[in-house]
Amino acid sequence: MSNVAIRNLQIQLGGNKVIESLNLDVKAGEFVVLLGPSGCGKSTLLHSIAGLIDTSAGQIEIGGKDMTWADPKDRGIALVFQSYALYPTMNVEANMSFGLRINGTPKAEIARRVSRASDMLQLGPLLKRKPANLSGGQRQRVAIGRAIVREADVMLFDEPLSNLDAKLRTELRRELKQLHKQLGATMIYVTHDQVEAMTLAQRMAVMKGGVVQQFDTPDVIYNMPANLFVATFLGSPGMNLFKGEVEQQGSRAIFKNEHLSVDVSGYPFKAPLTGKHACVLGVRPEDIDVGHGDGVGQAVRASVSLIEAMGAHRVVWLDFHGTQVAGIVQDQQQIETEKEISFSIRGNRISLFDGASEQRL
Partner 1 sequence: MMGQVVKLDKTADAARAAEQARLAAANDASIPTPRPRRNLAWTPARIGVYAFLIAAALFFLLPLYVMLVTSVKPMEEIRLGTLFALPRHFTLEPWAQAWSSACTGLECNGIKGGFWNSVAIVVPSTILSIAIGAVNGYALSFWRPRGAGLLFAVLMMGAFIPVQAMIYPLVRVLASVNLFSSLPGIILIHTIFGMPVMTLLFRNYYAALPLELFKAARIDGGGFWRIFLQLMLPMSTPVIVVAVIMQVTGIWNDFLLGLVFAGSEHLPMTVELNNIINTTTGERLYNVNMAATILTSIVPLALYFISGRWFVRGIASGAVKG
- Chain contacts with partner 1 (rule: CB under 8 A): 47, 50-52, 72-73, 77-79, 81-83, 85-89, 98-99, 102-103, 146, 150
Smallest separation (angstroms) from partner 1 to the CB of 219: 33
Which residue number, 104 or 272, has a Cβ lying nearer to partner 1? Answer: 104
| Residue 50 to residue 228: CA distance in whole angstroms | 31
| Residue 223 to residue 221: CA distance in whole angstroms | 6
What residues contact residue 186 under an 8 Å CB cut-off, 6+ apart?
A: 1, 2, 3, 4, 26, 27, 28, 29, 30, 32, 153, 154, 155
Smallest separation (angstroms) from partner 1 to the CB of 109: 15
Which residue number, 86 or 205, has a Cβ lying nearer to partner 1? Answer: 86
Smallest separation (angstroms) from partner 1 to the CB of 20: 24
| Residue 345 to residue 169: CA distance in whole angstroms | 35
| Residue 298 to residue 347: CA distance in whole angstroms | 10
With vertex at residue 315, the alpha carbon angle to CA 174 and CA 355, rounded to the nearest 5 degrees, is 95
Which residue number, 79 or 290, has a Cβ lying nearer to partner 1? Answer: 79
Which residue number, 106 or 275, has a Cβ lying nearer to partner 1? Answer: 106
Which residue number, 75 or 314, has a Cβ lying nearer to partner 1? Answer: 75
Smallest separation (angstroms) from partner 1 to the CB of 63: 16
| Residue 142 to residue 126: CA distance in whole angstroms | 9
Which residue number, 57 or 85, has a Cβ lying nearer to partner 1? Answer: 85
Smallest separation (angstroms) from partner 1 to the CB of 206: 25
Which residue number, 28 or 90, has a Cβ lying nearer to partner 1? Answer: 90
Smallest separation (angstroms) from partner 1 to the CB of 258: 52
| Residue 134 to residue 113: CA distance in whole angstroms | 21
Cα distances from 124 to residues 20, 115, 140, 147, 222, in angstroms, run 45, 8, 15, 16, 40
Smallest separation (angstroms) from partner 1 to the CB of 14: 12
The edge-to-edge listing of strands for the beta sheet with 351-354 is: 261-263, 252-256, 240-249, 276-283, 351-354
CB atoms within 10 A of CB 275: 8
Four-point Cα dihedral 129, 134, 138, 141, nearest 10: 50
